[in-house]
Amino acid sequence: MFFSNSLENQLQRWNETIRNQPKNPNAYIRRGMVNFQLAKIDESIQDFDTAEQLDVRIKPYLWQRGLSYYYAERFAEGAEQFEIDLTVNAQDVEETVWRYLCIARSLGVEEARNSLLTVKNDPRRIMQRVYDLYAGNCTPDDVLIVGQSEGIKGNFYSHLYLGLYYEAQNNLGLAQEYIVKAAENYKIDDYMWYLAQVHKKLRG
């Protein structure tokens, strides 16, 4: 309850900021993020779109919109957003993994794996291991072992991305098990933790 109340308060604050500064793209991005955290997916996309209309240069930085596209089941647009993001952030495993997830949901896992973009220098060990999993070069257990060695944050990310991996394979039982664990057992102050909550809510 505390979280959702504080999100509602944040939403009111950004509504007010936007009333006072209707041409401020950052305010729309921030409100879009809060809308997403409240599982208001369509509203979040509208906010991100408005931000881009106000300043077209921010398009490659709108990774948040890619996540919203995934949950709106607008997978082709999601894949495109993450591909554009990678032009400015080529060492981020999460961007290429989310592109994989969008392609897997629309064209199948084989196509997603075959078109997985190369990322070599993400400094996070857990994300390097997640990348190996999606590339077909390690096992889910390998991911969990690295996650455990990296404390709460590592555990969170290993469980989240295993859950998403299984969702892409249509193994909904394991997808649910891992994402619920990520959301409930490994709470971190991070946008992706809210994503796990949103996932849980939208998937029932």
pLDDT of residue 120: 81
Rounded to an integer, the average pLDDT of 190-202 is 97
pTM of the model: 0.95
Q: How far is CA 189 from CA 3, 136, 185, in A?
A: 11, 30, 13
Spatial CB neighbours of 73, under 8 Å, sequence gap ≥ 6:
105
Q: Which amino acid is at 56?
A: V
Burial of 170 (0-12, 13-18, 19+ CB in 10 A): exposed
CB 200 within 8 A of CB 180: yes
pLDDT tens-digit series, residues 27-43: 999 999 999 999 999 99
Q: How far is CA 164 from CA 54, 108, 170, 174, 181, in A?
A: 33, 14, 10, 9, 12
pLDDT of residue 1: 43
Tokens describing residue 187: 């709470």
pLDDT tens-digit series, residues 75-112: 999 999 999 999 998 889 999 999 999 999 999 999 99
pLDDT band (50, 70, 90) for residue 121: confident
Quote the CA–CA distance of 12 and 129 in Å, as a whole number: 39
pLDDT of residue 4: 61
Statement: residue 2 has pLDDT above 90: no
CB 40 within 8 A of CB 33: no
Statement: residue 14 has pLDDT above 80: yes
